[in-house]
Amino acid sequence: MSILHVVSVSGGKDSAATAVLAIEQHGRAACRFVFADTGNEHEQTIEHVAYMARHLGVEIVTLRADFSAEIVRFRDYVREQWPRKGVSKGDCERAIAALVPTGNPYLDLCLWKGRFPSRTRQFCTHYLKTLPLVEYQMGLIGDGACEAVWSWQGIRLNESQSRMSRLQGTGACVRSFEVMGDGLFTYRPILRWTAVDVFDAAALYGLAPNPLYLQGMTRVGCMPCINCGKDEILEISKRFPHHIERIAMWELMVSMASKRQMASFFPDPDREKHLNKRGIHNVVEWSKTQRGGQLMDWVRIHEEPKACESAYGLCE
């Protein structure tokens, strides 16, 4: 049976090690590399993925989800159905005017859904990464490029507690290989690796880490990710304020398209009790505080971002 090994590259350390491992075990000709560009990536991550392709001597195919058809269909739904649901003519017209595809996958997904994803409704991963990747992989089989695809996922158990529970359950058996059906298999080769292991694997190929790791970021996925912690939000606001401004603009655009006229990237830090605390600028203000948001933490606020500040000790 002919097999292609498809490695999903995120621009982060784990997928870099996984790419190196796939090349090492199967050679470049048997591997394919894909990068799901969510449209909410940091420019340094986009550059790093291009650098990885050059350095490893491979092509990394960029996948970008397209929601223009869904937005157009939803606009028709708003025009026909919202008035029957008691929504005022002015509100319908406002939403219809806002429901215009922008070509940015993340923003268009949120315009279509009328909201941003959240930790409890994390639909971004499904629509922006999983679906485009599965479509690409099934396309390889459908086009006759191979009879089966091993989908390599660069995830590690000790990266998060929820991941450990999901993949390991209560026993010692870890789901490192799964049959998905129709010729598709999932392979997770670095489940038990540590952060040091993955940096070492990439270093064997002389592959430099994403420069964002040297600027206080613990993850280099979306900028920001809905799962960002308090310190990471503060760090982003100090180092990359243009991304905060972009999210503020997206909040306005998605609010215009939503029935409630309100959409915020992060929920209110105070468990959504105070609607006036929503919005990225308010969340950035909260990230400067300590003790439940009551006291301003002046040291954290005024500390200049250091040139090199890696949570993984990369700057040592």
Enumerate binding residues for ligand SF4 (CB under 6 A): 38, 40, 117, 122, 124-125, 128-129, 221-222, 225-227
For the chain, list the strands marked E by DSSP.
3-8, 31-36, 60-63, 148-152, 177-181, 184-187, 289-290, 295-296
The strand pair at 184-187 and 177-181 is best described as antiparallel
> Measured from the CB atom, is 31 or 124 closer to ligand SF4?
124
> Measured from the CB atom, is 63 or 78 closer to ligand SF4?
63
**Least separation, in Å, of the C-beta of 103 and ligand SF4?**
18
**Least separation, in Å, of the C-beta of 40 and ligand SF4?**
6
**Least separation, in Å, of the C-beta of 222 and ligand SF4?**
3
Sign of CA dihedral 302, 308, 313, 315: negative
How far out from the chain centre does Cα 202 lie?
21
**Least separation, in Å, of the C-beta of 244 and ligand SF4?**
15
**Least separation, in Å, of the C-beta of 235 and ligand SF4?**
16
Query: Torsion over CA of 227, 234, 240 and 48, rounded to 10 degrees?
Result: -50
> Measured from the CB atom, is 37 or 70 closer to ligand SF4?
37
Question: Which stretch of DSSP H or E encloses residue 286?
Answer: helix 280-287
Q: Please tell me the distance from the alpha carbon of residue 118 to that of residue 6, in angstroms, as a whole number.
A: 28
> Measured from the CB atom, is 40 or 255 closer to ligand SF4?
40
> Measured from the CB atom, is 78 or 209 closer to ligand SF4?
209
